[in-house]
């Protein structure tokens, strides 16, 4: 599991790593969709618990699965930009990266942006920050790692959740077994602990 060290957050202040630590709230986010098999299942789970989440969408997936993207918004969730082609910022020029983000934004139309893999250079941040709120995370669940069990993920969620945590899951086929097993239990835990699940606006 990965929780971003505090010294990194202090050094690099432009991206948002955690929301207000004085509010007992969790900010649930999903990366890499929409996915026609998995995203609808996620939406149904969220509906069951009466909570909303932020979905950071890949532009080419929005283009292919527009109906799933629109349904996500229709159910009251917030969407964000995750580049058009899920680019790794460390391997991409500033110009190409910004162009890819803008291409995605033509479809997604959101001022929220999360870099894929969290890999973005200071120059890319500087090029985007005037137009986008750059959202990172307080901790990532590692639901994508087949070596990690649902039980381990849930235990880490319980251990690492704190006021203002931005939490990352993924709505992808390859993570479905872990994510779909953990998600309802994680939401139940947060609600039992008195956390409000809020949207990043």
**Which residues are tagged catalytic?**
31, 170
Beta bridge partners of 196: 25
Q: For residues 19 and 84, what is the distance between their CA atoms, to the nearest angstrom?
A: 26
Residues 6 or more apart whose CB falls under 8 angstroms from that of 125 comprise 14, 15, 134
Q: For residues 30 and 11, what is the distance between their CA atoms, to the nearest angstrom?
A: 26
What spatial distance separates the first Cα and last Cα of the chain, rounded to whole Å? 26
Cβ-count burial 153-183 (b if 16+ within 10 Å, e if not): bbebbeebbeebbbbbbbbbeebbebbbbbb
Tokens 């460390």 -> residue: 90
């Amino acid at each position: 599991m990965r929780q971003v060290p505090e010294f990194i957050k202090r050094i690099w202040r432009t991206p948002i790593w955690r929301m207000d630590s004085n509010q007992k709230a969790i900010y649930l986010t999903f990366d890499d969709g929409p996915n026609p098999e998995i995203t609808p299942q996620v939406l149904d789970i969220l509906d069951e618990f009466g909570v909303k989440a932020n979905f950071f969408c890949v532009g080419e997936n929005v283009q292919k699965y527009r109906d799933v993207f629109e349904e996500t918004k229709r159910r009251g969730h917030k969407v964000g930009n995750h580049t058009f082609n899920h680019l790794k910022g460390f391997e991409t020029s500033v110009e190409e990266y910004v162009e890819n983000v803008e291409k995605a934004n033509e479809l997604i139309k959101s001022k929220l942006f999360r870099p894929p893999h969290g890999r973005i250079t200071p120059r890319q941040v500087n090029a985007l920050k005037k137009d986008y709120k750059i959202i990172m995370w307080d901790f990532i669940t590692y639901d994508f790692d087949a070596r990690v069990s649902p039980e381990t993920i849930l235990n880490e969620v319980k251990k690492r959740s704190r006021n203002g945590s931005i939490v990352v899951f993924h709505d992808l086929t390859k993570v479905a077994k872990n994510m779909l097993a953990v998600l309802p239990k994680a939401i139940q835990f947060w609600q039992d602990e008195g956390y409000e699940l809020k949207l990043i606006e």
